[in-house]
């Protein structure tokens, strides 16, 4: 069973994103009111706002945590065409803020000419890398060459997707057989361009990202997408929030021994497609074992999806945001 715990967020406008940190103890929210709030879980389970600061001069679309190996680091992106990297530090002994934790801006990434719609850190094994995508369809990959210096980021790659980009997701696989892969979703609403999800793969040979695949069957605006945690699988699972929830399985085809300069061929299978939200689906999120997928839509509900051993996906629970009784059998969550 789930217990709904309501939190007085006190943001002055819409909250666009919530994000747990790596260990699930901290949470960050961002809002159109241009601020980011950090919440820490107290011992009795209450979420307490420990920081609240103005981050941008426009709506903050997304906030995301870096791997804790790099410190307590957040990245945010905004309508004001910038992305920013923030670090929590403990005040120096000499400082007035001795012993107090506070967040300081480490860098502002100003390369975009339009609203920056998503920001994501690359998987840890790739080093300290940050990716942004913007409404003009450019995906930018930055790298901090020195992980101790968060104020220096160099723009490593610029991928032009042609379509207004709304969301990105890194393939989390740490396998050396899987080259770095990134999926980009577009919220372009015109029907002229079909295939609103593009998948790019790093080509060792050319040291560039090249398009590996376009999911042509996704023709409606995509609001969110998420690779499932890989956990040693040889294939990848990608969830997409568009006018429905879709789950794709991407199976890399065996590549020949000679490292070719073309991206891996992917075999694409649709595992599931659900229109139960009966409206736009805004968010999808995987649990860490990738056994459960959560989706939320314009119907104000969160739905949980789970596959049985035959890869049949079923809705196992519907949660309503206002805490009205939720139906959910707990054995399916095991």
Interatomic CA distance for residues 168 and 223, integer angstroms: 10
106-141 CB burial, b ≥16 within 10 A, e <16? bbebeebeebbbbbbbbbbeeebbbbbbbbbbbbbb
Angle at 283 between CA 277 and CA 286, to 5 degrees: 105
Residue with smaller CB distance to another protein, 49 or 208? 49
Q: Which residue has the tokens 């942004």?
A: 132
Interatomic CA distance for residues 79 and 116, integer angstroms: 6
Q: Who contacts 49 (Cβ-Cβ below 8 Å, separation ≥6)?
A: 10, 37, 38, 39
Residue with smaller CB distance to another protein, 198 or 290? 290
Classify residue 276 by burial, with Cβ atoms within 10 Å: 0-12, 13-18, 19+. middle
Smallest distance from another protein to CB 210, Å: 22
Half-sphere exposure for 215 (CA within 13 Å, toward CB): 28
Smallest distance from another protein to CB 272, Å: 16
Q: Which of 287, 313, 315, 318 binds another protein (CB under 8 A)?
A: 287
Interatomic CA distance for residues 41 and 50, integer angstroms: 10
Check residue 327 for interaction with another protein (CB under 8 A): no
In this structure, are residues 212 and 264 in contact, taking their beta carbons and an 8 Å threshold? yes
Q: Which of 23, 96, 207, 254 binds another protein (CB under 8 A)?
A: 23
Smallest distance from another protein to CB 194, Å: 15
From residue 314, alpha-carbon distances to 56, 89, 153, 299 in Å are 40, 44, 43, 18
Q: Which of 235, 271, 313, 315 binds another protein (CB under 8 A)?
A: 235
Check residue 77 for interaction with another protein (CB under 8 A): no
Q: Which of 52, 72, 273, 280 binds another protein (CB under 8 A)?
A: 280
The H-or-E segment that residue 90 falls in is: strand 83-90
Residue with smaller CB distance to another protein, 67 or 157? 67
Check residue 231 for interaction with another protein (CB under 8 A): yes
Check residue 4 for interaction with another protein (CB under 8 A): yes
Applying CB under 8 A, the span of 10-18, 137-145, 149-157, 194-202 interacting with another protein comes to: 10-18
Residue with smaller CB distance to another protein, 7 or 210? 7
Q: Which of 194, 259, 323, 327 binds another protein (CB under 8 A)?
A: 323
Check residue 169 for interaction with another protein (CB under 8 A): no
Which residues 126-165 are close enough to bind another protein by CB under 8 A? Answer: none
Check residue 279 for interaction with another protein (CB under 8 A): yes
In this structure, are residues 252 and 212 in contact, taking their beta carbons and an 8 Å threshold? no
Smallest distance from another protein to CB 83, Å: 13
Binding mask 177-196 for another protein (x = CB under 8 A): x---------x-x-------
Smallest distance from another protein to CB 268, Å: 17
In this structure, are residues 104 and 116 in contact, taking their beta carbons and an 8 Å threshold? no
Smallest distance from another protein to CB 238, Å: 15
Q: Which of 1, 48, 100, 155 binds another protein (CB under 8 A)?
A: 1
Check residue 106 for interaction with another protein (CB under 8 A): no
In this structure, are residues 182 and 168 in contact, taking their beta carbons and an 8 Å threshold? yes
Which one-letter DSSP state was computed for residue 249? E
Applying CB under 8 A, the span of 57-65, 100-108, 203-211, 253-261 interacting with another protein comes to: 57-65
């Amino acid at each position: 069973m789930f217990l709904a715990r309501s939190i007085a967020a006190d943001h002055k406008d819409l909250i666009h994103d919530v994000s747990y940190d790596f260990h699930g103890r901290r949470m960050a929210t961002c809002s159109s009111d241009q601020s980011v709030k950090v919440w820490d879980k107290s011992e009795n389970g209450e979420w307490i706002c420990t920081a609240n600061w103005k981050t941008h001069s426009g709506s903050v679309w997304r906030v995301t945590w870096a791997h804790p190996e790099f410190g307590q680091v957040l990245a945010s992106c905004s309508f004001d065409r910038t992305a920013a990297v923030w670090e929590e530090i403990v005040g120096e002994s000499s400082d007035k803020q001795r012993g107090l934790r506070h967040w300081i801006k480490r860098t502002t990434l100003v390369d975009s000419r339009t609203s920056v719609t998503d920001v994501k850190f690359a998987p840890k094994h790739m080093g300290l890398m940050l990716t942004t995508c913007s409404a003009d369809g450019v995906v930018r990959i930055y790298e901090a060459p020195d992980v101790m210096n968060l104020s220096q980021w160099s723009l490593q790659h610029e991928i032009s997707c042609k379509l207004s980009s709304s969301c990105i997701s890194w393939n989390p696989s740490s396998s050396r057989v899987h080259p770095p892969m990134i999926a980009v979703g577009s919220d372009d609403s015109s029907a002229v361009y079909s295939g609103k999800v593009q998948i790019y793969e790093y080509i060792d040979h050319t040291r560039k990202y090249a398009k590996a695949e376009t999911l042509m069957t996704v023709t409606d605006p995509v609001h969110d997408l998420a690779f499932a945690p890989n956990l040693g699988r040889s294939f990848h699972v990608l969830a997409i929030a568009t006018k429905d929830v879709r789950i794709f399985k991407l199976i890399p085809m065996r590549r020949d021994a000679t490292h070719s300069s073309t991206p891996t061929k992917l075999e694409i299978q649709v595992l599931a497609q659900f229109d139960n939200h009966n409206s736009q689906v805004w968010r999808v999120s995987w649990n860490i074992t990738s056994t459960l997928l959560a989706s939320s839509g314009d119907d104000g509900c969160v739905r949980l999806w789970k596959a049985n051993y035959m890869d049949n996906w079923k809705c196992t629970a519907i949660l309503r945001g206002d805490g009205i009784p939720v139906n959910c059998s707990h054995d399916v969550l095991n």
